[in-house]
Chain A
C-alpha cells in the first residue's frame, strides 16, 4: 500500500476541522483501511480528546522529530479500530518545533504501511498550516455557511492554488436546512458558487456531533445520525466511490415534526 495523505484545513477556527478528521478517519477504519491521524495543532492539541485517546499519550510528534522516540512509539492505537492510529501534537511546544520537511519525512515513513494519513491542520495561514499542507496529496477545506468562514476558506483556497497544491475539495459543515429554507443561511449552492471549487460533502447541523465529541466517540459510528451518514459518504468518496449527495430537505418540515412527535425520530 501507498498511503494517500489528506490534510483537513479551513482558515477560520471552530468550523469543525478536528471533528471532520476524527470522523473521516473512523469511517475509513470502519471500512477496513489502515489510517494514521496526525494532530498538526502544536500547543493546542485536541484531536486526542475528540477521538477519546487522551489518556494513552506517551510520546508526541515533536518527540519523534527530536529523536526521543521512534515513529511507531508515538502512534496511539484506537480503542475500537485496530487499524486506526493517532500521532498527537505536543502540548507544551509551539509550531516552530515542526517544519514542513519534518512533516514530509514523517508522512513518507508512514506511506508504505498505511492506506490514509489524515492531517488535522491548525486554524490560520501561518507556520502550522504550512506544516500541515506540506505533505498533502489532497486537501479538504472545511467551512460553515457563514460569512467569515467562507471568506477565510477562500483565502486558504487561494494560497493552496498559489502553492500548487491543486484545487482543494470543499466540505460544508453545520448546514442548517431550516435556516437555508427560510433564506437566513447561505445554501450549499451559494457557498459553492462563491468559492468556485468542487464539493466533497455537506454535513448537516446535528447535535449528535457534540454528543460524540463529549464521549470521545466520533458520530460516524452512530448509524442513525445524519451528520454521521454525511461523514460516511465523504469517506466513501475519498475511496473513489460515486456516492450521491444526501437529500437534506427531509430533515426539516412537517413530516419530520410529526415523526418527532410520534417518537419515530
Chain B
C-alpha cells in the first residue's frame, strides 16, 4: 500500500531543508540558537518566574523572512506563593 505511506523521502527532504534554510538565512547555527535561548531565559527570569522546561524558542519562516518565535509559559504567582 505505497499510496498511504506518507513518510517517504520527499517529506524528509522538505523537513530537512526547512531547518537548513532557516539557519542559512539567519547565519545562526543550532549551538548559537541554544546560547541565544539561554541568554533570553536568563534575562526574562530576572523579572518574572518562568518554567524553563516548558519554554519553546525557534526560528520560523514566513515567505522570505524569518521570525524568532518564543513560547515562554510563566509560573503562576499564586501557585508559586502556595508552594
Residues of chain B having any CB pair with chain A under 8 Å: 2, 5-6, 8-11, 13-14, 16-18, 20-21, 24-25, 61, 63-64
| Subset of 10 A-B contacts with CB under 8 Å | A147-B20, A155-B24, A157-B64, A158-B25, A183-B6, A190-B10, A196-B61, A196-B63, A196-B64, A197-B64
Which B residue sits closest to A180, measured CB to CB? B10
Within 8 A of B (CB), among A177-191: 179-180, 182-187, 190
With a cutoff of 8 Å between Cβ atoms, the chain A residues found around residue B20 in the complex are 147, 151
**Binary per-residue interface labels of chain A (136-168) against chain B in the complex, 1 for a CB within 8 Å, 0 otherwise:** 000000000011001100110110010000010
Q: Is the interface of A mostly helix, strand, loop or mixed?
A: helix
**Nearest chain A CB to B79 CB, angstrom units:** 41
**Nearest chain A CB to B44 CB, angstrom units:** 31
A side interface size, CB within 8 A: 22
Known: A147-B17, A158-B24, A183-B6. 4 other contacts (CB 8 A): A154-B21, A186-B13, A190-B14, A196-B63
Residues of chain A having any CB pair with chain B under 8 Å: 146-147, 150-151, 154-155, 157-158, 161, 167, 179-180, 182-187, 190, 194, 196-197
Interface contact B10-A184, CB-CB below 8 Å: yes
**Nearest chain B CB to A11 CB, angstrom units:** 11
Interface contact A182-B2, CB-CB below 8 Å: yes
Interface contact B21-A151, CB-CB below 8 Å: yes
Interface contact A154-B25, CB-CB below 8 Å: yes
Q: Which of A157, A183, A194 contacts B18 (CB 8 A)?
A: A194
Interface contact A182-B17, CB-CB below 8 Å: no
